[in-house]
Every structure is written in structure tokens, then in C-alpha cells.
Amino acid sequence: MPRNPWGQFKARTHEVILAEQKAIALLNEHLGKSIEEAVEYGGVLYIEGSECHTTGPYHGDRATPTVKIHQYDPNCGCPTGTKPIGYWHTHPRLSGAGQALVWDHFEGPDVDIAVDYSLHGYIGAVDGRLIWYDWTEKKEHTLNGVLRNTTD
């Protein structure tokens, strides 16, 4: 795989590389709008044939600093016959709902979704970082490069 602005791919399988590429594209598309609106966006990544697609994108609201990606639905909300492989979402705020928010790494529900549903997780952080959670290693990685975090 050729080098790209994100540096060396962390993923070890072709399907996870596809998911990583799709997550980067989706987060670049939605992070700026997410920050502007102060709501999280996200979805479940799935493999269909030789391509990676997403459910949603779903979005939360200003009152609750979260987004429901429907991972609890059959096949994680993905079409029948496809393979859920990851999920992506934005962390557009430093605080919300009267509290400081964890915006720069995986914890609590973010980790639970990854581990409970065997999904690699991708966060687009407010500062433009892309953070990847490898559920097989139960380990977080910050990828090189910067996501577009404006709507310009």
C-alpha cells in the first residue's frame, strides 16, 4: 500500500485498511459540520463485496454529548449479508451537558462499543486528530495527519 498523508497504515488486514480509509473520508466530510453544530456524527462501517460503506450518518443533539449509531440492531444496523467491521464518530466539543468531555481518546462507552461488537473504532477529534481503537489489541492509536475540522 502506498504511503499517504496519514503515514503508515496501522491496520493489518485489507478489510481494516478499507475501513480506515473510509473512516478518514467520512470524518473529513463531517467533522467541521459537527464542530459547527456542536453535535456528534457517526455510523457503523461495513464490508459489502470488496468495498467499505457506512450506515447513517447519524447525528446526536446539543443536549447529549453522544450519537446513537444503532450497533445494537441486528447486524449492527448494517444491511443483511454484509460484515460490520468498525464504527466512526466525531468528538466536536471539549465540554457539554454541564461537564468536561473526554474528546481526545477512547473511554467508557466508546471502548464498550468496540469490544462488545468487535468493531474497530475511529474518532475525529475537535483538534483534527484521528484516533483509532483496535478492538483485537484493546489498544488506541493516534494516526499521523490532520482531519479537516472546519467547514471552509
Domain boundaries, the chain: 19-28+42-98+108-119
What's the pTM value of the predicted model, to 2 decimals? 0.89
Q: How far apart are the first and last CA of the chain?
A: 30
pLDDT for 66: 81
Mean residue pLDDT across the chain: 87
Q: How sure is the predictor about 100, in pLDDT bands with cuts at 50, 70 and 90?
A: low
β-pair partners for 47: 52, 83
Residue 60: strand, helix, or coil? coil
CA atoms of 150 and 128, how far apart (whole Å): 9
Q: In which element (H, E) is residue 142 found?
A: strand 139-143
Whether the predicted pLDDT of 34 surpasses 90: yes
